[in-house]
């Protein structure tokens, strides 16, 4: 077909391919007419994404349609991409022997769960799981489209590190943002002294400070009687602030939860684990959605609360004598499921419940440009169906990874 020459000399077909090349090359994406909860409720907006960033949020944005890929946001709610601060991305478990080592994370599970940022960590097994492997997997997930960070260490003290020191890991390894999960009040911990924990927190704090990172100490709480005592004493007896610690699994039993309410009322941050199994709930674990309502009713500010999934971590079931009865694997998809239940069952407003997996972890973990739909921030956006609050689409750093429930980008071997 003879190429027609438009008035600017570009042939139409050439201009169209140029423009589509432009939109492809510059990843111009516009989400039209969507309700936006950023996590503040912001009404119906148009959201323009340029390259990997959110460029504009306006009532109306008009662009020549050939310049930008367009998503019709009618009937959808745009929320910030979810942040899961505690995932065993290289697998965990092993508490029942080698055959109980759990599998590593598939990126498709994260995308299906609306998770666009993950913090990877090691757990019980800091021997056959390594920080080198954790860093490699984090980089692999990043190449597959989501944003990742890691924590140095594992359950055990002294901590496993990459460089030989907590401070150097934080200062020299870009993806390292903190340490953990360090086990306390658990029969699988190293039974560390309070001085050992103080020194770890001091090094993490100083390393984080020098690296412009959070240096968060992610503390695994088991079912042991000492509960949060070590953390309460360190905060009372040293200069280390409570914000240096993020105690997790605090919904695992009623006694620990009650002490965590006090810890939070005194300004501490607390993290609930969304992965669970029915008999844990029968045995006294508090479902995250319920725990959130109860903690808010106790007067704790929602900004001090986060959810994380413990995805791919083992959910071991020990009897009273510490014998393993069985174990299952945590799921990253439980993260949104629990926030959705908090809205639909516990009647917590979406813009409140959403904070525990967006703004709050972003702030506590110092994840810049994450956790909000805001110009200049990474274009991590989840589109929820307005009626069911199920996940329709997932955009990570400006790339559409799932659309109408269909994965557009699978993991390398999926
Ligand atoms: C929790 C991770 C636990 C692993 O207590 O800590 O074991 O290393 O994979 N999971 N040990 C699960 C409870 C909160 C239910 C981990 C696990
Ligand atoms: Zn744990």
Q: Is the pLDDT of residue 102 over 50?
A: yes
pLDDT score at 15: 53
Site to probe by mutation for ligand 1, drawn from 252, 260, 314, 322 as the one with most ligand atoms within 8 Å of Cβ, is: 314
Lowest mean pLDDT among 27-31, 56-60, 148-152: 27-31
**DSSP run (H or E) holding 198:** helix 194-211
Q: What is the pLDDT of residues 240-271, one digit of tens each?
A: 999 999 999 999 999 999 999 999 999 999 99
Residue with tokens 């990459």: 162
CATH number, domain 7-79+372-407? 2.30.40.10
Backbone angles phi, psi at 58, to 5 degrees: -135, 170
pLDDT score at 189: 98
Q: What is the pLDDT of residues 342-359, one digit of tens each?
A: 999 999 999 999 999 999
Tell me yes or no: is domain 81-364 CATH 3.20.20.140: yes
Q: What is the pLDDT of residues 379-396, one digit of tens each?
A: 999 999 999 999 999 999
What is the spatial distance between Cα 265 and Cα 187, in angstroms, rounded to a whole number?
28
User: For the whole model, what pTM was predicted?
Assistant: 0.93
Name beta bridge partners: 46: 58
Q: Is the pLDDT of residue 13 over 90?
A: no
pLDDT score at 310: 98
CB 129 less than 6 A from any atom of ligand 1 = no
Site to probe by mutation for ligand 1, drawn from 129, 275, 310 as the one with most ligand atoms within 8 Å of Cβ, is: 310
Ligand 1 atom closest to the CA of 313, numbered from 1:
9
Which CA distances in Å does 46 have to 19, 60, 330, 388? 21, 6, 36, 22
The tokens of 19 are what? 């423009």
Three-state secondary structure call for residue 346:
coil
Name beta bridge partners: 57: 47
pLDDT tier, 123 (very low <50, low <70, confident <90, very high otherwise): very high
What is the spatial distance between Cα 230 and Cα 238, in angstroms, rounded to a whole number?
12
Q: How many residues does the chain have?
A: 414
Strand 245-248 vs strand 270-273: parallel, antiparallel, or unpaired?
Answer: unpaired
Which CA distances in Å does 151 have to 194, 207, 293, 311, 370? 21, 13, 29, 15, 18
pLDDT score at 414: 87
Backbone angles phi, psi at 224, to 5 degrees: -65, 155
Q: What is the pLDDT of residues 31-42, one digit of tens each?
A: 999 999 999 999
pLDDT score at 412: 87
Averaged pLDDT for residues 332-336: 98
CA angle 135-140-143, nearest 5°? 130
pLDDT score at 409: 76
Question: Whole-number mean pLDDT of the chain?
Answer: 93
Name beta bridge partners: 219: 182, 247
What is the spatial distance between Cα 247 and Cα 263, in angstroms, rounded to a whole number?
10
Measure 30 CA to ligand 2 centroid, in angstroms: 40
266, exposed or middle or buried, with CB in 10 Å at 0-12, 13-18, 19+? exposed
Q: Whose CA is nearest to atom 8 of ligand 1?
A: 123
Ligand 1 atom closest to the CA of 223, numbered from 1:
5
Averaged pLDDT for residues 55-67: 90
CB 126 less than 6 A from any atom of ligand 1 = no
Among 288, 218, 282, CA closest to 257? 288
Backbone angles phi, psi at 144, to 5 degrees: -90, 5
- For residues 80 and 359, the answer to whether their CB atoms sit within 8 Å is yes
Q: Is the pLDDT of residue 18 over 90?
A: no
Three-state secondary structure call for residue 358:
coil
354: Cα separation from own chain's centroid:
12
Averaged pLDDT for residues 60-77: 91
For the annotated catalytic residues, the residue numbers are: 310
Sorted by sequence, the CB contacts under 8 Å of residue 262 that are 6+ apart come out as none
The tokens of 63 are what? 């662009």
Q: Please, where are the H alpha helices in 179-313?
A: 194-211, 229-237, 254-265, 278-282, 288-297
Residue with tokens 């980089």: 139
Lowest mean pLDDT among 66-70, 77-81, 88-92, 151-155: 66-70
CB 249 less than 6 A from any atom of ligand 1 = yes
Averaged pLDDT for residues 192-218: 98
Residues with CB under 5 A from ligand 2 (ion): 181, 220
Q: What is the pLDDT of residues 287-324, one digit of tens each?
A: 999 999 999 999 999 999 999 999 999 999 998 898 99
Q: Is the pLDDT of residue 26 over 90?
A: no
pLDDT tier, 8 (very low <50, low <70, confident <90, very high otherwise): very low
- Which residue did the predictor score with more confidence, 43 or 19? 43
> Where along the chain do its domains lie?
7-79+372-407, 81-364
CB 93 less than 6 A from any atom of ligand 1 = yes
Among 16, 135, 113, 84, CA closest to 358? 84
Measure 49 CA to ligand 2 centroid, in angstroms: 37
CB 92 less than 6 A from any atom of ligand 1 = yes
Ligand 1 atom closest to the CA of 248, numbered from 1:
14
Cβ neighbours of 234 (radius 10 Å) = 22
Averaged pLDDT for residues 369-373: 98
Which CA distances in Å does 265 have to 177, 230, 232, 261, 299? 26, 17, 12, 6, 7
pLDDT tier, 20 (very low <50, low <70, confident <90, very high otherwise): very low
């Amino acid at each position: 077909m003879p190429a027609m020459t438009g008035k600017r000399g570009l042939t139409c077909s050439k201009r169209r391919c140029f423009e589509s090349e432009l939109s492809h090359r510059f990843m111009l994406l516009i989400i039209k007419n969507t309700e936006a909860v950023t996590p503040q409720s912001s009404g119906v907006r148009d959201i323009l994404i340029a390259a990997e960033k959110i460029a504009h949020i306006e009532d109306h944005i008009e662009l020549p349609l050939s310049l930008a890929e367009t998503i019709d946001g009618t009937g959808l709610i745009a929320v910030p991409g979810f942040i899961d601060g505690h995932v065993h991305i290289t697998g965990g478990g092993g508490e029942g022997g080698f055959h109980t080592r759990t599998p590593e994370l598939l990126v498709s599970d994260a995308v299906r769960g609306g998770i666009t940022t993950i913090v990877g960590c090691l757990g019980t097994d800091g021997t056959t799981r390594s920080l080198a492997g954790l860093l490699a997997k984090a980089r692999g997930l990043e190449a597959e489209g989501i944003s990742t960070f890691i924590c140095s260490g594992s359950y055990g003290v002294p901590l496993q590190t990459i460089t030989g020191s907590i401070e150097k890991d934080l200062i020299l390894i870009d993806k390292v943002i903190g340490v953990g999960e360090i086990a306390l009040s658990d029969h699988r911990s190293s039974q560390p002294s309070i001085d050992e924990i103080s020194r770890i927190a001091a090094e993490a704090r100083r390393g984080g400070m020098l690296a412009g990172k959070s240096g968060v100490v992610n503390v695994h709480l088991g079912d042991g009687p000492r509960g949060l005592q070590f953390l309460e004493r360190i905060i009372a007896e040293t200069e280390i602030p409570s914000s240096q610690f993020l105690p997790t699994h605090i919904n695992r039993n009623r006694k620990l939860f009650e002490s965590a309410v006090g810890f939070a009322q005194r300004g501490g941050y607390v993290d609930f684990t969304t992965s669970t199994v029915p008999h844990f709930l029968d045995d006294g674990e508090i479902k995250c959605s319920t725990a959130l309502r109860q903690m808010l009713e106790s007067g704790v500010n929602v900004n001090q609360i986060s959810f994380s999934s413990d995805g791919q971590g083992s959910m071991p079931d020990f009897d009273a004598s510490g014998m393993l009865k069985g174990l299952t694997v945590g799921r990253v998809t439980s993260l949104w499921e629990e926030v959705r239940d908090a809205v639909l069952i516990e009647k917590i407003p979406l813009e409140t419940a959403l904070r525990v997996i967006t703004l709050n972890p972003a702030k506590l973990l110092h994840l810049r440009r994450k956790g909000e739909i805001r110009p200049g921030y990474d274009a991590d956006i989840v589109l929820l169906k307005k009626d069911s609050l199920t996940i329709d689409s997932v955009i990570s750093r400006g790339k559409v990874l799932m659309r109408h429930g269909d994965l557009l980008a699978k993991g390398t071997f999926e």
